[in-house]
Amino acid sequence: MRRRLQEHSAFMFLKLSAALILISLSLYSACGSESQVILDASQCRMINTPSNVSKVPLKVNEGAQVRNYNGRPSLFIDGQVSVPFCYTSYLGREPYYREAMQAGIQVYCFPAYLGDRGINIESGIGPFRPGIWIGEKTFDFNSLTNDFKTLLSVYPNARVIIRLDLDPPSWWERAHPEACSFQPDGSALRQSFTSPIWRVAMDDALRACIAWLLQSPYSQNLIGIHLAAGGTEEWVYQYYNLFYDGNPGRTVAFRKWLLENYGDQAKLRMAWADPNVCFATAQLADISGKQATPVWRTGKQTKQIVDTFRFHSAVLADNIAHFCKVVKQASGGRLLTGAFYGYHFYLNDPRKGHFALGRLLACPDLDYISSPNTYNRVLGEDWLPMAALNSVSLHGKLWLAENDTRTFKTTLLKDQAPAICPNGYYSDGVWRGPESAEDSVALLRKNAARMLAGGYGGWWFDMWGGWFSDVRLLAVLRRTQELGSLELGQPCPQMAAQVCVITDEELAFHDASFGKLTEQIMVNRFVLGRTGVPYDVYLRSDIMLIPAGRYKAIWLLGLLELTDKEIKKMDEWHKEGITTLWTMPEGTDIRWAGGAPLEIKKGQVQWTPAELRCIWRKASVHIYVESDDILYAGYGWISLHTLTGGTRIIHLPFTARVEDAFEEKVLDIATSDLKIDLSPRSTTLLRVLPVDSGK
């Protein structure tokens, strides 16, 4: 295959011609544009609000921000660097809030909904809260008031991020069918994300919510808005087996996107290999999925569908960026903004729309990005972030992991909230936790270790409540909070990763099987954590920005073809003594540092931990352990998660004092090779302090 991919650079939305502006208001710049005139809170009817809401003045404080601290994005609240570990629950209740407070957690999240329906269309789940937006210009903030009262009755000084879902209520969709996603049978399925009517309406509603919050008695507790929409609140397109959105505005927006991306009709015709296509008549390709075939798309004739997928993802990224700007404007920059997005390192189906992370990271109004941990939820496996974590950090954004970890205390929705739980759902498979407290502790410790060694934050997602209600589990949360305070100190450059993985978030656009072929390559992500070394992950779009000098091996994972610039960059890496791997559908090419001949592994796309460890060793990468246990290392932390247990020797990159962080005991006062006995089905977290650091 090895065809030449046209380099896809980051693009910004330009001003459209007057005719197109009249037709489509839906797409702003990648980070939004100035809002249209909208209602302020005084023009809206607000019911069930505290009687003193208008009498409470907004106190001046510094709010919350994400800033660089010790070389990485960090959470600041009221000007002070803060531990970025939080607690959240769909069904927040006083006993569980009290447990989290006693564990030292200071930041809390709870959901709020403009609409009145459940978080997905497949299961029939009911809404977790009554909808806020109950009629034109009419808002009922009773659910927010109740959630604040419940939390603050336990912890008056709690800081709060509200997960605000921007899916509209059913009454609004009935009133505005022209803003919905049109289906082949003539029905409407939720909002169309390209609809300017939906976006403007959400602007109004979002600003009304923020105005109410900032003038409420709870304004001093509020530090951020987590913007949500789409399937399971994660900015995923909602569809059943096949994707359809026949809203005419989608075609208009696509043509606008083409004009901005190509700028010249001749370039469009050349790219599409179509002498007749033009910006005024170009059509979206069929991305429904009804014609899935196990082949890679090649040649210019496939450019139409690739561009359709690029546009498809860009729509979601641009909406997130736009609403982040609304929050910043409405709050005077005081509130954090974040969203779930960029699951390219886990999702393989391009219809989901999560493949424009690079575009979203350019938004200055976005503070953090989130995803759940990957859903290989068993002991002995790495649950990694769903996105290129180091690209997120490179662009100054904080990563917050959603640790929705099931435990032996995990409750079921049908028991906690039977009125909203559909029959046959949320009770088996992934919704069940491990049977023992010991396994549960190992999993929570693994979550904690990954956050600490990765230098990022997250929240403990007590989904239905009571999932951590055991003294042993709460001890993990409490100790993690304490260790997070230590982790805010100086970084440990000797532990920086020496392996770099570069991934193409657009790989699935070229996969005519809608993800099956992509998974054959990307399944390597689960092996990376078992090779005995830490690693970094970047987006292909950041390849020229990567601080490559720190790495000894760079793996280009799933790049179908290299551009001239990328080939030149690889040549530079080799001159710097860096070994490179390039895995594409035909196999893997290895170029060893030092001028050794190119090694071609024809047909080898998937690798074992032992094979990769052999490559790392030959590339002079520091290997911490020789076993296939899950290893995390960084920022002065080393963790091993093991299924089998046994004796291990951990090779440190320096002589260090080593402490068992969870057991709170010193293992050695000066060693570079630590011999340690690990229990089966356990996670061990070590604090390593260079002996010459003065600590």
Shared domain check, 126 and 53: yes
Spell out a b/e string for 164-201, using b for 16 or more CB atoms within 10 Å of the CB, else e.
Answer: bbbbbbeebbeebeebbbbeeeeebbbbbbbbbbbbbb
Average pLDDT value for residue range 573-585 = 96
DSSP 24-48: ------TT--PPPP---GGGSEEES
Confirm whether 2 is domain-assigned.
no
pLDDT of 81 strictly over 50? yes
Beta strands 368-372 and 398-403, pairing class: parallel
Percent of the chain surpassing pLDDT 90:
86
**Residue whose structure tokens are 């330009």:** 14
Beta strands 180-182 and 188-191, pairing class: antiparallel
What dihedral angle (degrees, nearest 10) is formed by the CA atoms of 248, 254, 256, 257?
160
Beta strands 637-642 and 630-634, pairing class: antiparallel
Shared domain check, 643 and 547: no
Average pLDDT, the chain: 91
Shared domain check, 436 and 310: yes
Confidence of residue 668 (pLDDT cuts 50, 70, 90): very high
3-state secondary structure 466-509: CCCCCHHHHHHHHHHHHHHHHHCCCCCHHHCCCEEEEECCCHHH
Shared domain check, 423 and 325: yes
Amino acid, single-letter form, for residue 237: Y
The residue from 603, 618, 633 where one domain ends is: 618
Q: What is the pLDDT of residue 61?
A: 59
Shared domain check, 382 and 344: yes
pLDDT tens for residues 350-376? 999 999 999 999 999 999 999 999 998
Shared domain check, 655 and 604: no
Higher-scoring residue by pLDDT: 47, 414? 414
pLDDT tens for residues 595-640? 788 999 999 999 999 999 999 999 999 999 999 999 999 999 999 9
Q: Hey, how many other C-beta atoms are within 10 angstroms of the C-beta on 607?
A: 22
- CATH number of the domain that residue 132 is part of: 3.20.20.80
The residue from 618, 646, 670 where one domain ends is: 618
Confirm whether 476 is domain-assigned.
yes
Q: What is the pLDDT of residue 26?
A: 36
Q: What is the pLDDT of residue 95?
A: 98
Going across the sheet that includes 553-557, the strands are: 535-539, 499-503, 553-557, 579-584, 587-591, 599-602
Residue-range definition of the domain harbouring residue 681: 625-690
Q: What is the pLDDT of residue 377?
A: 87
Confirm whether 1 is domain-assigned.
no
pLDDT tens for residues 15-73? 323 333 333 333 333 333 332 233 444 456 666 554 443 333 334 457 899 999 999 99
- CATH number of the domain that residue 643 is part of: 2.60.40.1180
What dihedral angle (degrees, nearest 10) is formed by the CA atoms of 145, 151, 154, 157?
-90
Q: Hey, how many other C-beta atoms are within 10 angstroms of the C-beta on 144?
A: 25
pLDDT tens for residues 552-578? 999 999 999 999 999 999 999 999 999
The residue from 594, 618, 642 where one domain ends is: 618
Average pLDDT value for residue range 434-444 = 98
Confirm whether 286 is domain-assigned.
yes
Shared domain check, 433 and 509: no
Q: How far apart are CA 136 and CA 123, in angstroms?
A: 29
Task: List Cβ neighbours of 91 (8 Å cut-off, separation of 6 or more).
Answer: 128, 416, 417, 464, 465
Amino acid, single-letter form, for residue 295: V
Shared domain check, 501 and 386: no
Q: What is the pLDDT of residue 11?
A: 30
Q: How far apart are CA 674 and CA 574, in angstroms?
A: 33
Confirm whether 6 is domain-assigned.
no
Average pLDDT value for residue range 476-503 = 93
Average pLDDT value for residue range 396-420 = 96
Task: Give yes or no for a contact between 631 and 612, defined as CB atoms under 8 angstroms apart.
Answer: no
Shared domain check, 455 and 508: no
Confirm whether 502 is domain-assigned.
yes
Q: What is the pLDDT of residue 40?
A: 44
pLDDT tens for residues 639-653? 999 999 999 999 999
Q: What is the pLDDT of residue 486?
A: 87
pLDDT tens for residues 316-332? 999 999 999 999 999 99
Higher-scoring residue by pLDDT: 10, 66? 66
Confirm whether 61 is domain-assigned.
yes
Q: What's the total number of domains in the chain?
A: 3
Shared domain check, 148 and 240: yes
Shared domain check, 472 and 353: yes
Confidence of residue 480 (pLDDT cuts 50, 70, 90): very high
Q: What is the pLDDT of residue 587?
A: 98
pLDDT tens for residues 328-350? 999 999 999 999 999 999 999 99
pLDDT of 685 strictly over 80? yes
Q: How far apart are CA 337 and CA 164, in angstroms?
A: 11
**Residue whose structure tokens are 């919510």:** 209
Shared domain check, 471 and 432: yes
CA distances to 213, 594, 683 from 643, in Å = 47, 38, 9
Give, rounded to a whole angstrom, the gap between the first and last alpha carbons of the chain: 55
Q: What is the pLDDT of residue 300?
A: 83
Confirm whether 12 is domain-assigned.
no
Confidence of residue 491 (pLDDT cuts 50, 70, 90): confident
Q: How far apart are CA 251 and CA 407, in angstroms?
A: 46
- CATH number of the domain that residue 513 is part of: 3.40.50
Confidence of residue 452 (pLDDT cuts 50, 70, 90): very high
Task: List Cβ neighbours of 116 (8 Å cut-off, separation of 6 or more).
Answer: 127, 130, 131, 169, 170, 171
